[in-house]
Structure 1
């Protein structure tokens, strides 16, 4: 581990695992109603190495990092794939035809 002074410049992503007591649901079944899970502080997440609950400040940061990564992945999947090959000249306007229209060479 590298020695450093002061806080890190970037928050590192910790390995999280679902709480074994509530199985990631954040609640456990009581006799008559559901109760907040005490083992994971009702979050459903624990550290993967130790299985302990994270402090709330760290948990919020870790969940935010995971949410931003998931949103970025969703945005990448929503973007259409660029068209390559012979189809590309028919779909995109190359402005080489008369009146700056599409010229395909056919």
Structure 2
């Protein structure tokens, strides 16, 4: 079912890139102090397609979705690292009488 009008059912993740002016820091160095970057409105992120700064109403949800995706990816990576130790400690029933055989 396609929509013909109205807002989208889900917000799409827009591709973001680091600001080229401040190199993703959100600030530029003045003579005596740091100033907010005017190219990205101090966020350090710009739209990858256009290179323009996103308004705060769009930037905050985009960064939230990006953070949640990266946190989920990190969580999946942490769970996959424990594989060898779990396999070593569980009973594989390959030893004598169905006991655990580790090959040591």
In the superposition, the TM-score normalised over structure 2's length comes to 0.77
Q: What is the aligned partner in structure 1 of residue 70 from structure 2?
A: 70
Match of 2:36 in 1: 36
CA contact (8 A) 2:26 2:40 kept: yes
Larger proportion of helix: 2
* Mapping 1:1-106, distance limit 5 Å: 4-79=4-79, 80-82=81-83, 88=87, 91-92=89-90, 103-104=98-99
Instruction: Give unpaired runs (5+ residues) of structure 2.
Output: 93-97
- SS for the counterpart of 2:35 is strand
Task: Return the TM-score normalized by structure 1.
Answer: 0.76
Once residues 69 and 4 of structure 1 are traced to their aligned partners in structure 2, the CA distance between those partners, rounded to angstroms, is 29
Q: Could you report, residue by residue, the CA deviation over 1:82-103 in whole angstroms, capped at 9, with x for unpaired residues? A: 45xxx94x63258xxxxxxxx4
Per-residue deviation, 1:50 = 1.1
Partner residue, 2:95: none
**Closer/same/farther in 2, CA of residues 3 and 9 from structure 1, 3 Å limit:** closer
Structure-1 separation of matches of 2:100 and 2:18 = 59
